[in-house]
């Protein structure tokens, strides 16, 4: 993949009196990278880049992200166009296959999703073994890993069977997520229906009840569809990098996705929207005094930060936030929600968009801020927020695993380190040792 992006341009590195030339690679959107693959062999040195903020671990044709300009695209299509015109199923197909589906391809893919929606009944019994308060992400991770035991034929030639594996994962993870919620509530399971769209099916499995039939609200379905699309992929984030790193050892897709789910579970990654709700609840407990928290966020001596504002990558508006804010406003209006937490959130948003402190630092509300508000409005509890994130991110994980697996130049991931421990020291027999030495 890289050969056509190699250029004649070189960067020079001087170490003492020796000068080394480093090839420059230019991506399809103009990004430049120094090729340091031969650096250690030529110089004996490695690079040190904590957090990998300046390190490109792979070449990928799945997602383009420009944090300075606020641009996000999947396979060349802008996130704005995809969110406006596509279903989540279409975008899932795009991410995995590289092109938007034709009508026939979408019908075939949707049929595969429908046939794959049910869980093996032996797997359904697994839910009975989890304590009622088990974290949904723990259940999701272990259940996805367990899929390889029920579908071992998928392990023989993964790329040949990728369509079926993709359909099984995208469909069954939705069912696992809904079942885990129902089990945590002590409610009877609601099985998937063949006559509902992907998002409507999920909502029905979550909220339908023998005593209170769930009524499908198209504004809610549309908002959920947008949320899943916006979370579909986001370049080499922590969970996606985890899927690729684990998969580089030739681990099967199910286990690789399970590892990605575990990485997403972290509060610094997929748990941000849940943290937004925790912050809003804390403000509510103090009488809704959001101005106090605005002042705390602006105080350089105070470690407090407003959760859901700003982004590590985007130095401008998060393009996903603009899209989901419109959906958020529409859902709240459609449901006529009266929720003090949502009122506090809207007040925080209004202040941040006008306050010079936040504007100058580009600390705008991000996608995590709005997604938590929507999930709460439609009845999804906070402990399910990260599960929803995983449901949306799943096609991106599959696409990256496929790309990594299919790369003829791929190698097992093996970062280096800079050792800073003790130098070589003599061994001391146990009877002569002094504590701490």
Sheet strand arrangement including 63-66: 63-66, 71-74, 77-78
What mean pLDDT comes out for the span 180-206? 94
Among 42-46, 62-66, 224-228, 363-367, the least confident range: 363-367
Confidence of residue 415 (pLDDT cuts 50, 70, 90): very high
Residue 120: exposed, middle, or buried by beta-carbon count in 10 A (0-12, 13-18, 19+)?
middle
Confidence of residue 163 (pLDDT cuts 50, 70, 90): confident
Measured distance CA(274)–CA(371) in Å, rounded: 9
Highest mean pLDDT among 79-83, 133-137, 335-339, 368-372 belongs to: 79-83
- Of 409 and 242, more confident: 242
pLDDT of residue 349: 85
Percent of the chain's residues with pLDDT above 70: 98
What mean pLDDT comes out for the span 404-412? 90
428, containing H or E segment:
none
Q: How far does CA 284 lie from the centroid of its chain?
A: 29
SS3 category, 13: strand
Sequence-ordered strand ranges (E) for 85-237: none
SS3 category, 367: helix
Q: DSSP for 331-357?
A: HHHHHT---HHHHHHHHHHHHHHH-HH
Flag whether pLDDT at 288 surpasses 90: no
Flag whether pLDDT at 436 surpasses 80: no
Confidence of residue 1 (pLDDT cuts 50, 70, 90): low
What are the chain's domains? 3-66 (2.20.28.60), 77-270+391-406 (1.10.580.10), 272-377 (1.10.230.10)
- Of 154 and 162, more confident: 162
Give residues with Cβ within 8 angstroms of 75, minimum separation 6: 61, 62, 63, 94, 95, 98, 99
Among 58-67, 154-163, 206-215, 230-239, the least confident range: 154-163
Flag whether pLDDT at 313 surpasses 70: yes
What mean pLDDT comes out for the span 141-169? 85
Give this prediction's pTM. Answer: 0.92
pLDDT of residue 2: 66
Highest mean pLDDT among 47-51, 92-96, 318-322 belongs to: 92-96
pLDDT of residue 126: 94
Q: Mean pLDDT in the chain?
A: 91
Measured distance CA(397)–CA(413) in Å, rounded: 16
- Of 168 and 370, more confident: 168
Residue 169 DSSP label: H
pLDDT of residue 234: 95
pLDDT of residue 154: 65
Question: How would you classify the pairing of strands 18-26 and 32-34?
Answer: antiparallel
Residue 399 phi/psi, 5-degree rounding, is -60, -45
Q: For the CA atoms of 13, 14, 15, 16, what is the dihedral angle to 10 degrees?
A: 180
Measured distance CA(330)–CA(318) in Å, rounded: 19
Q: For 329-379, write each residue's pLDDT tens digit.
A: 899 889 988 778 878 888 888 888 888 998 888 888 888 888 888 998 999
Residue 4 DSSP label: G
417-427 residues labelled b (16+ CB within 10 A) or e (exposed): eeeeeeeeeee
Q: DSSP for 379-408?
A: T--GGGHHHHHHHHHHHHHHHHHHHHHH-T
Q: DSSP for 20-83?
A: EEEEEEE-TTS-EEE--TTHHHHHS-----GGGTT------SSEEEETTTTEEEETTEEHHHHH
Name the residues annotated as catalytic.
311, 368
């Amino acid at each position: 993949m890289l050969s056509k992006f190699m250029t004649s341009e070189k960067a020079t590195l001087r170490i003492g009196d020796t000068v080394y030339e480093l090839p420059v690679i230019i991506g399809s959107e103009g990004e430049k990278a120094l090729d340091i693959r031969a650096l250690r062999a030529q110089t004996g040195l490695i690079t040190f880049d904590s957090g990998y903020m300046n390190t490109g671990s792979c070449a990928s044709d799945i997602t383009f992200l420009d944090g300075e300009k606020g641009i996000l695209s999947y396979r060349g299509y802008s996130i704005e166009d995809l969110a406006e015109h596509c279903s989540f199923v279409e975008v899932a197909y795009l991410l995995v296959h590289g092109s938007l589906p034709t009508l026939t391809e979408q019908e075939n893919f949707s049929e595969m999703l429908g046939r794959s929606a049910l869980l093996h009944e032996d797997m359904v019994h697994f839910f009975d073994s989890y304590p009622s308060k088990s974290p949904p992400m723990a259940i999701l991770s272990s259940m996805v890993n367990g899929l390889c035991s029920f579908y071992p034929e998928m392990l023989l030639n993964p790329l040949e069977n990728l369509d079926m594996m993709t359909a099984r994962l995208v469909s069954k993870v939705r069912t696992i997520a809904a079942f885990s919620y129902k089990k945590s509530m002590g409610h009877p399971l609601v099985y998937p229906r063949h006559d509902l769209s992907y998002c409507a099916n999920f909502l029905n499995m979550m909220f339908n009840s023998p005593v209170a039939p769930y009524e499908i609200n198209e504004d809610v379905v549309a908002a959920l569809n947008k949320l899943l699309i916006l979370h579909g992929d986001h370049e080499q984030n922590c969970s996606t990098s985890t899927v690729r790193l684990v998969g580089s050892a030739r681990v099967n897709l199910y286990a690789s996705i399970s590892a990605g789910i575990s990485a997403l579970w972290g509060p610094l990654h997929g748990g941000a929207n849940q943290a937004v709700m925790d912050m809003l609840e804390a403000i509510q407990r103090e009488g809704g005094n959001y101005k106090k928290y605005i002042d705390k966020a602006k105080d350089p001596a105070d470690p407090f930060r407003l959760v859901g504002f700003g982004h590590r990558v985007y130095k401008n508006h998060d393009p996903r936030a603009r899209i989901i804010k419109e959906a958020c406003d529409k859902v709240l209006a459609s449901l006529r929600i009266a929720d003090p937490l949502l009122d506090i959130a809207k007040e925080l948003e209004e202040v941040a968009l006008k306050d010079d402190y936040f504007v100058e630092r580009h600390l705008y509300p991000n996608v995590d801020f709005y997604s938590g508000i929507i999930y709460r409005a439609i009845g999804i509890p906070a402990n399910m927020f990260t599960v929803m994130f995983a449901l949306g991110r799943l096609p991106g994980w599959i696409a990256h695993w496929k790309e990594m697996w299919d790369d003829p130049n791929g190698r097992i991931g093996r970062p280096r380190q800079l050792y800073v421990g003790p130098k070589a020291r003599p061994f001391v027999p146990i009877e002569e040792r002094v504590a701490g030495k």
